[in-house]
């Protein structure tokens, strides 16, 4: 595996973004968000996704100069228009705004319409936790998941992020509502492995662990079957209603032009009604119990975000793993 | 099946609650919340759960006279102490308060500590939607679900409710984070049926659709395996941190004395940043697309809450189905 220092990855992304015309500070933040995703092991939405991000700038899907604009506000709830600016920058700014609202009002919610792909959603959960507040955010996506009972994609594989600050290591859930993403299915297929559990339907309509069959049927499973199907719908509904923006059924199914997404950023500040010390103690106790050694050997229980910190530390020490072809491509940009 | 009119169910529950010493208005609300659960088809948390509710009053778990008290407030975020009052009343009052906060501030969040079982969580989602706002609420529970990778119960089967108001019929997701509740497992077993999908592990540690095996192993599956396991943990964390109350690991595993629960009630008012007409149109379009007729026959796609409205209408017309033994027991109270 090829590894490069974080700084080299960041500098390269920064150079390309500046060359594309990004204003200096925005280029720095955008490069950092991509580099952080790779640093934390979310390779699919870090460097590996950068070429498509550049393509979306070149094909006019993303307007690199657009900044989100406040459309309506009522106390701790605000509606913003993303104006098809770069998704990671729009999302970062809206989570910053939700955090600021929560520090003033206890809670803050920013609903963002007309944005583009935010890449790694977890970034914005870590952002809230780093600011000492609970962060909850999600996005809708293009239609790529059949709801339970249907065979054609009518909901999005909408990711939901819930982040809780903890001085000893934030707890951050970053999950999409399908059991396996198409990226994960491709990885299993290329390694010649079956999925560990059923991941979707085969072309005959039977549940299967064969990733290639699911890629062929285009019928991945929502988590919890009917439950994840319902959850996907609710995330789309709440996002579109609050932002006044578009819903999954209105978003192009061409991933190279995915745009007009609706997102929600919620921040809740526990320190506004309690003390950070008590909150930290409660979180530590919950995690300690969750990770109790098992009665019998061989078990491994991980809390959400635990693996991220381990990979982050390893990648900062040894360098960030990169796909040589993608790395060369980005270096040549 | 034995059916009784809604009014008769309500009157009977009301009489028992008044006999137990409930103040008149509180008895009416409590009777309504139990009757509404049965009316809407959530029999497990309506009449069927009433005897245990009475037991918890008699064994001192629930204090029928206790009312929640404001502990701390910051703008749109409030922390309340439930003082072990009746769970359904505490939850109703806190959702009312979250709704009121959202009408003033756009968003509202009430975190409730030291409460008792709220019975049917969906009630409080419908309550928010009836008030025209988006409602999100959840509770932690006693430890009854092994997280992914463990065989002993370290998380709760915490239910999450997300409700979106829609004039043509609210959309309300009311889901616990296990694939099947113990109540559902018992129902399948008594009918001699296998589960439609894997629901947990058998006593040899293999995934199974046999409900009796899962009851024996006490290892039901979280939805989405590792994903639902993480979601359960996050709901407990956020609930305990925001309320300053107890977490699942501190709650007795005796269901007859389940208490000191932590709950979160979030209300978001779309009308504060937009118009109800546009919100209704967006919701209608999303539901219409979700329920598109399938390309091939035999499919049935249901949105969350759709079945509730169908059952509600049928039960109001024909009477509420009751288990004769439970109904006799409650009538004799």
Give the closest of A71, A72, A134 to B238, CB-based: A134
Give the closest of B75, B224, B301 to A223, CB-based: B224
The tokens describing A237, both together, are 């509904």
CA distance B313 to chain A (A): 22
pLDDT of residue B161: 98
- Residue-by-residue pLDDT tens, chain B, 333 positions: 799 999 999 999 999 999 999 999 999 999 999 999 999 999 999 999 999 999 999 999 999 999 999 999 999 999 999 999 999 999 999 999 999 999 999 999 999 999 999 999 999 999 999 999 999 999 999 999 999 988 899 999 999 999 999 999 999 999 999 999 888 898 899 999 999 999 999 999 999 999 999 999 999 999 999 999 999 999 999 999 999 999 999 999 999 999 999 999 999 999 999 999 999 999 999 999 999 876 655 567 999 999 999 999 999 999 999 999 999 999 999
Q: Which residues of B touch A272 (CB under 8 A)?
A: 74-75, 77
Give how far the C-alpha of residue B322 lies from the chain's centroid of Cα atoms, to the nearest Å: 19
Q: Which residues of A touch B223 (CB under 8 A)?
A: 223-225, 227-228
Give the residue on A whose Cα is nearest the Cα of B164.
A238
Separation of alpha carbons B159 and A242, rounded Å:
23
Separation of alpha carbons B212 and B190, rounded Å:
9
The tokens describing A49, both together, are 């996704």
pLDDT of residue B230: 97
Domains recognised in chain B with CATH numbers: 1-58+306-333 (1.10.1530.10), 68-178+222-290 (3.30.1370.60)
Give the residue on B whose Cα is nearest the Cα of A245.
B282
Residues in chain A: 333
Give the residue on B whose Cα is nearest the Cα of A230.
B304
Q: Which residues of A touch B285 (CB under 8 A)?
A: 247, 249
Query: With 90 as the cut, is the pLDDT of residue A183 above it?
Result: no
Q: Which of B2, B45, B65, B295 is catalytic?
A: B45
pLDDT of residue B96: 98
B24-64 tens-digit pLDDT:
999 999 999 999 999 999 999 999 999 999 999 999 999 99
Strands in chain A per DSSP E: 2-4, 69-74, 77-81, 107-116, 134-139, 159-164, 171-176, 200-201, 207-208, 259-268, 320-322
CA distance B6 to chain A (A): 29
Active-site residue set of A? 45
Mean of pLDDT values over A128-142: 98
- Please report the DSSP string for B13-68 in residue order: HHHHHHHTT--HHHHHHHHHHHHHHHHTT-GGGTGGGHHHHHHHHHTTSS-TT---
**Hey, of B121, B140, B224, B262, which one would you mutate to test binding to chain A, going by the most A CBs within 10 A of its CB?**
B224
A219-248 tens-digit pLDDT:
999 999 999 999 999 999 999 999 999 999
Q: Are A203 and A216 in contact (CB under 8 A)?
A: yes
pLDDT of residue B292: 82
pLDDT of residue B80: 98
B246-289 tens-digit pLDDT:
999 999 999 999 999 999 999 999 999 999 999 999 999 999 99
């Amino acid at each position: 595996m090829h590894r490069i220092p974080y700084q080299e990855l960041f500098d390269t992304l920064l150079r390309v973004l500046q060359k594309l015309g990004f204003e200096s500070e925005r280029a720095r933040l955008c490069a950092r968000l991509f580099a952080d995703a790779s640093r934390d092991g979310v390779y699919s939405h870090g460097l590996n996704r950068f070429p498509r991000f550049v393509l979306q700038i070149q094909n006019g899907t993303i307007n690199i100069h657009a900044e989100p604009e406040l459309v309506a506000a009522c106390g701790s709830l605000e509606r913003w228009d993303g104006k098809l600016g770069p998704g990671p920058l729009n999302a970062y700014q809206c989570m910053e705004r939700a955090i600021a609202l929560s520090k003033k009002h206890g809670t803050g919610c920013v609903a963002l319409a007309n944005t583009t792909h935010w890449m790694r959603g977890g970034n914005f959960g870590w952002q809230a936790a780093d600011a000492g507040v609970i962060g909850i955010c999600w996005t809708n996506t293009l239609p790529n998941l059949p709801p339970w009972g249907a065979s054609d994609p009518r909901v999005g594989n909408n990711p939901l992020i819930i982040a809780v600050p903890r001085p000893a290591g934030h707890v951050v859930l970053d999950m999409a509502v399908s059991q396996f993403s198409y990226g994960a299915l491709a990885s299993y297929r290329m390694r010649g492995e079956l999925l560990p559990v059923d991941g979707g339907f085969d072309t005959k309509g039977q549940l299967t662990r064969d990733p290639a069959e699911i890629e062929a049927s285009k019928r991945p499973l929502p988590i919890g079957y009917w439950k994840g199907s319902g959850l996907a719908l609710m995330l789309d509904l709440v996002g579109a209603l609050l932002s006044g923006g578009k819903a999954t059924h209105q978003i192009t199914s061409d991933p190279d032009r995915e745009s007009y997404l609706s997102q929600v950023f919620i921040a809740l500040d526990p320190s506004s009604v309690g003390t950070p010390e008590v909150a930290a103690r409660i979180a530590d106790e919950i995690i300690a119990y969750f990770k109790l050694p098992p009665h019998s050997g061989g078990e491994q229980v991980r809390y959400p975000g635990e693996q991220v910190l381990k990979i982050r530390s390893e990648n900062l020490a040894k360098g960030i793993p990169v796909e040589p072809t993608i790395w060369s491509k980005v270096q040549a940009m």
